[in-house]
Amino acid sequence: MENIFKAHKTLFLSGNTLSYEFRVSQLKKLKRLIIEHQEEILEALYKDLHKSRFEAYSTEVGYVLKSLTSTIKSLKKWMKPKKVKTPFYLTTTSSYLTYDALGTVLIIGPYNYPFQLIVEPLIGAIAAGNTIIIKPSEFAAHTEKMLIELINGHFDKDYLYVLEGDYTVTSKLLDLKFDHIFFTGSSRVGQIVYEKASKHLTPVTLELGGKSPTIVDETANLKIAAERILFGKFLNAGQTCIAPDYIYVHDTIHDEFITTLNQVINTRYSDMDSFGRIINDRHFNRLTALIDETKVTQEVVTDAPTKLISPTILKGVTWEDKVMQEEIFGPILPVLKYSNLKDLVSLLKTKDKPLALYLFSNNKKNQTYVFENLSFGGGAINDTIMHVSNPYLPFGGIGMSGIGAYHGFYSFKLFSHTKGYVKKATWLDLPIVYPPYTKAKEKLIRKIFK
């Protein structure tokens, strides 16, 4: 591990990863390899999480291919120094921004989107000119093996390299002095990553999670709200960091909305063959323990051998229930009531800032009030999770839900140092800045900085 790390450092210091030609060639190579091996990737995702081909392609393979296409197209523009405004008192001076590669970076991936959440930050790290060491999740073992074959089998090991292993490998990697660490996973492990990185003052990006709320007010289109909330919740069997974690429904429409949710489940989710599975036995057992049989709205199907948990709605839930004590990260959706929006917003302000928030409302005042008064990573009005698919929006958390943001240009910027500099002409040199500093000079400088 240390030898690989040193080789990466040496390659970066050689400057060979910095040219536009090198960066774009590596991005094109990665895109070609993904296209050539997409069937094997889809198969690995099915074996790990029982993802249907549609879901696996749209949220993982196709998602990163689109990101690669956009990055390849935009990279030259991103790399070009940008001229910015210069204040009048810096006469004969021009000011610029440029983006420097950081060095050798570490990407640690999760199990829920084990391909996309490795490759998406990798695209930004390559585009920025870094060398990269990757540690996928060992829980998604088939995808981990696929990444090793894809990366280690086709790229210079001193440039890109995938290390396999359990948490002990991750722990040893975190002892090394990387130039940036990108981690996607739980808040608990994120705290460990942050603590270890602090010993070297290594900057980190932490893409975590939390309990992301959804609010449905009395003006919402209940059928559309139910369709879009359940789509966002049950995608990948609920194992999505920005999935709606729970719903607050206005008490005047609560019962009708519960009925609508059940109708959508019966229509959309009757075929469990194409429904995702929980990643392992530990998480299956954790999730089934959160289901209060006295609060389910219809029959729940669980199957331990295949790790299936069918879409589950819980009603009559309060913050004292076990399901509200942690991020669910599975196909269980608690529904709570509220009667006054301002009181609800005041309550949500006392909770940890979530990665996402969703509001279903056709009342513009309510839309403005919620989005201006609550802090969260990102969100949507009358939709769920789709903000993550817009490469022109930054994606990231705040507080306990994460540090830093990426996607599109924001990925390139994240893995770069934004460096500012000025360029000054020599045909004019004003003596005001040089001593001796007279009262007249002081009077003039006071006017300039007024």
- Both 220 and 362 in one domain: the answer is yes
Q: Is the pLDDT of residue 431 over 90?
A: no
Average predicted confidence (pLDDT) for the chain: 96
- Both 14 and 105 in one domain: the answer is yes
- Both 21 and 115 in one domain: the answer is yes
Our answer to whether residue 241 is catalytic in this structure is yes
Q: Which two tokens stand for residue 408?
A: 């599109």
Torsion, Cα 149 151 154 160, to 10 degrees, reads -150
- What pairs with residue 334 in β-bridges? 314
- Both 249 and 159 in one domain: the answer is no
Q: Of how many residues is the chain composed? A: 450
| Number of folded domains that form the chain | 2
- Both 203 and 255 in one domain: the answer is no
Residue 327 domain-assigned?
yes
Q: Which two tokens stand for residue 194?
A: 């942050």
Section 311-328 average pLDDT: 96
Give the type of residue at 183: F
Give the type of residue at 58: S
Within a 10 A sphere around the Cβ of 231, how many other Cβ atoms?
Answer: 17
Q: Is the pLDDT of residue 450 over 90?
A: no
Span 241-288, pLDDT tens digits: 999 999 999 999 999 999 999 999 999 998 899 999 999 999 999 999
Do residues 366 and 340 make contact, with C-beta atoms less than 8 angstroms apart?
Answer: no
- Both 192 and 228 in one domain: the answer is no
Query: Helix, strand or coil for residue 403?
Result: strand
Q: Which two tokens stand for residue 37?
A: 């091996």
CA distance 415 to 418: 10
Output the CA torsion sign for 74, 77, 82, 83.
negative
> DSSP class of residue 216?
E
Do residues 186 and 283 make contact, with C-beta atoms less than 8 angstroms apart?
Answer: no
- Both 30 and 143 in one domain: the answer is yes
- Both 218 and 197 in one domain: the answer is no
- Both 121 and 237 in one domain: the answer is no
Q: Which two tokens stand for residue 240?
A: 């999505």
Predicted local distance difference test score (pLDDT) of residue 298: 92
Query: Helix, strand or coil for residue 320?
Result: coil
Residue 329 neighbours by CB under 8 Å, 6+ apart: 112, 209, 238, 239, 241, 243, 283, 287
Q: Which two tokens stand for residue 407?
A: 């996607």
Residue 133 domain-assigned?
yes
> DSSP class of residue 152?
I
Residue 324 domain-assigned?
yes
Predicted local distance difference test score (pLDDT) of residue 135: 97
From the list 207, 320, 326, 442, the catalytic residue is 207
- Both 375 and 405 in one domain: the answer is no
Residue 424 domain-assigned?
no
CA distance 25 to 22: 5
Q: Which two tokens stand for residue 140?
A: 């998604």
- Both 290 and 181 in one domain: the answer is no
The secondary structure element, H or E, covering residue 123 is helix 116-127
CA distance 77 to 409: 10
Share of the chain above pLDDT 70, in %: 100
Residue 275 domain-assigned?
yes
- Both 161 and 229 in one domain: the answer is no
Residue labelled with tokens 């660490």: 181
Q: Which two tokens stand for residue 355?
A: 């990665």
Interhelix angle for 62-79 vs 116-127, to 10°? 10
Residue 450 domain-assigned?
no
Q: Is the pLDDT of residue 432 over 90?
A: no
Residue 441 domain-assigned?
no
The C-alpha R_g of the chain, in whole angstroms, comes to: 25
Span 192-234, pLDDT tens digits: 999 999 999 999 999 999 999 999 999 999 999 999 999 999 9
Section 50-66 average pLDDT: 97
**Residue 267 sits in a domain of what CATH number?**
3.40.309.10
Residue 436 domain-assigned?
no
Our answer to whether residue 138 is catalytic in this structure is no
Within a 10 A sphere around the Cβ of 6, how many other Cβ atoms?
Answer: 13
Predicted local distance difference test score (pLDDT) of residue 347: 98
pTM for the model stands at 0.94
pLDDT category at 63 given cuts 50, 70, 90 is very high
**Residue 171 sits in a domain of what CATH number?**
3.40.605.10
Do residues 354 and 265 make contact, with C-beta atoms less than 8 angstroms apart?
Answer: no
- What pairs with residue 393 in β-bridges? none
pLDDT category at 11 given cuts 50, 70, 90 is very high
Enclosing domain of residue 121: 2-208+401-419
From the list 241, 256, 299, 442, the catalytic residue is 241
CA distance 313 to 296: 6
Residue 78 neighbours by CB under 8 Å, 6+ apart: 99, 127, 409, 412
